[in-house]
Structure 1
């Protein structure tokens, strides 16, 4: 009997500990303090919300989901989480496939989807966007005014994650990266206070949020500069995979042109497995000019290759962005590196993807779809960011390629093979760039893998400055301790 009573005592302690764990305490307090905003696992809304993230690699099982309807509710909630010592994650659109970045196990998921709205101020020519919006919510609102913002190139990503990771836009060569075009951040800090960060107020926080991700507070709204860009030329040209050498030659010529037209943008995706998909070239010219001369290197491809598909033509920028859907493969991971483009380097990269054993491993996965993506950032994009007050990224003002390797597959048991395969390919490309003296240290957060040290690559001085900002606005290091996901600030040496 004594042994049985001892077992009961242990069970009782276990039950009490489980009931009083920080995440359960926080969930109960949130439910009692803020009516209707807390979703528990027994709620019919729970499953749909936990699978909102577009890649299953990011699906997790939070203890509860807190979905504030107002900024004031969020201000009430954050001190509850801090006082409970409960871990939490913050989700805008849930586009990043990195585990833990926008969800959490045994913690509270703050779902920002109800903090929405897109308001265009005609007199000031600015747009205020709620952090719960997706880019597919933003562009239709701006169409009626025939203006746009430096924003996402796909409709499904969330506004918050893309901007706080820096963000590439079709407008970047003209006006800088997406984060460079934010005029004001509205932020809830760890103590629940609401502050604005801009050039005049909390300017150090304003700088830090341009690439600093979720390390300082929860951004609830972004004010972006608007631009009178609406009617453009652009679309997609698809070539057989066998055209890759010629495509890369054309790209090198386009990127290294000393008089590159800042209105001309490209994005190239080459399918290295399932090569029947070929090479997808996205061309965008930010004026309604038919077949602009800036793309002459790409147009010459048609002399030797027949296009599988060609959608280029005059259209609106929203219509162009709508053309790029997200693939339906359930599990996705990606990695990235950066370098200065040259014809020689591109030729060597082609050889890597033709001969690397990692490609065969990825091809062997069920539905293994491997893609490498070439994204161009010009020196003018970096200089435009400096004119807008600078950012935390530590970019060099040179023409550069942000190289991205992407793999999609079906089954969780293949996760490790997929991860190791694309990291191996990216490491090979990075080693090649270093050997040719063209490597750049910057890692693009929006395309990074979970084990890439993104912020460390911003440079020692910027990391030190980011830490100083964190210590000022989050002295308790709440967003370092209690928000484990995403790319965190490295420790100072």
Structure 2
């Protein structure tokens, strides 16, 4: 009886999978008959490159087709058709996310926003309308001719869409808030194919929800961003040996503990405790063309192995930042407030934990940590712009990210577990000392970190209410199930 039941169950499973695949291909063929060359199927020469365009191999996938709409009307048709047919889908902006399913999909339909690729600058209104398929390098270089910039990503290969909808950390944050705080309008295709604008006057609940609410409400086609008269800057990277880490952490603590931090000064410490040949890298940014400003005085007596700081444009400065070439990638995020004892304990954990040896023993295994100082002024600036979903506290804090890389798919689980163990130890220390912050930065979070749940009960309730209004059937929870979903 048991064997017969299993055979019946297996038969139903095969039938369901076959029917699902057939439905996927049917909707792909249906849309292709209407949109033509904007649909890429697995038999076409460009399919392999497009299906593996995502940054980390851990999120490469095989969609039944890849659809590249060229305007909001086409996208509206694609979304409403896919939803009507009940086919699962994913949406890709730049494909930098390491969260499986967030920007690619096995089976189903991948909606690739690459053709939403224009930047329109309006000098009178001091805004730029930016296509959601762009990467930040393209945005900045387009605006350089006008000597303005936007509050955008620090890694130029990252897509505009994912970073902005996740909150977005910028070198301009202390002045103007996070990336999401500087959006003045979203053009959005909702689950039923309706094209709406969300801003402070029109659909203000959706406008608020998209400031950190990720892909839970619709597909954003354009972001209208505030622009600022920042062009020339000073800074770059300084490279140190791992032996300099204690002095660098001491300087970081001094830098983050000043009563009135210079909002034009920005810094991030990256170190590779598993790779002494790379050592530690200090990213230094000053948003004015002034050399060696006083804000960076704590670092002056630490001698670097190489100093690449200079006067240059902000875009040039970010272009020069090193981005490691890794095969398989994951990352984890944690947040805590400033305290010398906590600094020292967390510094020991991220540079000396035994899990680092375990990671090194994986094929091409490595770990880097990023120490990202966040000033209270960044949170206050966001509140002044109308607030966001994130539930941030206006205090000086650190957003820590652990970046792990490895080579073999066989090591996926081990790499995840070793790195998760370190981040759990960090959280245990900060909780025990009363400096833990109940916030996980989405853009640096692992798939199993409960990001939106940590925005706070009030924010979550408001997000759910908004989702019920604009997506009553839960399309972006069920059919587009990848990414950070509402709890």
Bucket of the pairwise TM-score, normalised by the shorter protein: over 0.9
SS of the counterpart of 2:277?
A: helix
CA distance in 2 between partners of 1:333 and 1:343 (Å): 29
Q: What is the 5 A alignment of 1:395-414?
A: 395-414=392-411
SS at match of 1:290: coil
Match of 2:80 in 1: 79
| 2:259 aligned partner | 258
Q: Which residue of 2 aligns with 1:336?
A: 333
Q: Distance in 1 between matches of 2:257 and 2:453?
A: 28
Question: Which residue is equivalent to 2:61?
Answer: 60
Distance 1:474 1:225 in 2: 28
The aligned runs of 1:136-215 (5 Å cut-off) are 136-215=137-216
The answer on 1:234 being equivalent to 2:235 is: yes
Deviation at 1:57, TM superposition (A): 0.8
Aligned to 2:7: none
Instruction: Give the structure 1 partner of residue 471 of structure 2.
Output: 474
Instruction: Deviation per CA, 1:120-159: give whole Å up to 9, x if none.
Output: 1111110000001011111111110110000011110000
Measure the CA separation in 1 of the matches of 2:384 and 2:20.
53
Contact 1:38/1:67, CA 8 A, preserved across alignment: yes
Change (3 A) 1:354 1:221: closer
Q: Which residue of 1 aligns with 2:217?
A: 216
Please name the residue that 2:104 is paired with: 103
Contact 2:350/2:369 (<8 A) preserved: no
TM-fit CA distance, 1:19 = 7.5
Q: What secondary structure does 2:399 align onto?
A: strand
Residue matched to 1:3: none
Q: CA deviation at 1:228?
A: 0.3
Q: How does 1:7-156 map to 2 (within 5 A)?
A: 14=15, 17-18=18-19, 21-156=22-157
Q: How does 1:380-391 map to 2 (within 5 A)?
A: 380-391=377-388
Pick aligned residue for 1:353 from 345, 350, 355: 350
TM-aligned CA deviation for residue 350 of structure 1: 2.5
Structure 1 counterpart of 2:324: 327
With over 3 angstroms needed to count, the CA separation of the structure-2 counterparts of 1:354 and 1:48, relative to structure 1, is: closer
> Aligned with 2:244: secondary structure?
helix
SS of corresponding position for 2:282: strand
Task: Identify if the C-alpha distance between structure 1 residues 238 and 33 changes in structure 2 by more than 3 Å, giving closer, same or farther.
Answer: same
C-alpha displacement of 1:17: 4.6
TM-score between the two structures when normalised by the length of structure 2: 0.95
1:204 to partner: Cα distance = 0.5
* 2:462 aligned with 1:465: yes
Structure 1, unmatched stretches of 5+, are 1-9
- 1:106, distance to aligned residue in structure 2 (A): 1.4
**Superposition deviation, residue 351 in structure 1:** 2.2
- Cα distance change on mapping 1:28 and 1:435 into 2, 3 Å: same
Taking a change above 3 Å as real, the CA distance of residues 19 and 443 of structure 1, as seen in their structure-2 partners, is: closer
Name the CA distance, whole Å, in 2 between partners of 1:483 and 1:113.
Answer: 18
**Pairs aligned (count):** 476
Q: CA deviation at 1:100?
A: 1.1
Contact 1:156 1:326 (8 Å CA) reproduced: no
Offset of residue 214 of structure 1? 0.3
Query: What is the distance in 2 between the residues matched to 1:251 and 1:445?
Result: 24
Deviation at 1:18, TM superposition (A): 3.7
Q: Is the 8 A contact 2:236 2:321 kept in 1?
A: no
Contact 1:25–1:84 (CA under 8 A) maintained in structure 2 = no
**Equivalent residue for 1:452, pick from 449, 457, 473:** 449
- More moved, 341-350 vs 125-134: 341-350
- What are the ranges of 5 or more consecutive residues in structure 2 without an aligned counterpart? 1-10
How big is the shift at 1:355?
4.0
2:374 aligns with one of 341, 365, 377: 377
Question: Cα offset for 1:38?
Answer: 1.2
- Cα separation, 1, equivalents of 2:209 and 2:383: 14
**In 1, Cα distance between the equivalents of 2:340 and 2:330?**
28
CA pair 42-83 structure 1, distance change in 2 beyond 3 A:
same
Query: CA shift at 1:418, angstroms?
Result: 0.6
Distance 1:295 1:19, change over 3 A: closer
SS in 2 for 1:440: coil
Please list the CA deviations of residues 306-332 of structure 1 after superposition, one character each: whole Å capped at 9, or x if unmatched.
Answer: 311111111100000101243211111
Residues 324-369 of structure 1, C-alpha deviation per residue, up to 9 Å, x if partnerless? 2432111111000100122211211222235422111111112212
Pick one of 388, 410, 416 that aligns with 2:413: 416
Partner Cα separation in structure 1 for residue 184 and residue 299 of structure 2: 36
Cα 1:15/1:460, change in 2 over 3 Å:
closer
> What is the TM-score normalised by the length of structure 1?
0.94
Match of 1:426 in 2: 423
SS of the residue 2:91 aligns to = strand
Which whole-Å CA distance do the structure 1 matches of 2:433 and 2:409 have between them?
37
**Which of residues 365, 368, 372 is equivalent to 1:368?**
365
Distance 2:221 2:369 in 1: 33
- 1:272 maps to 2:269: no
Change (3 A) 1:453 1:144: same
Distance 1:200 1:354, change over 3 A: closer
Alpha-carbon distance in 2 for matches of 1:327, 1:117: 28
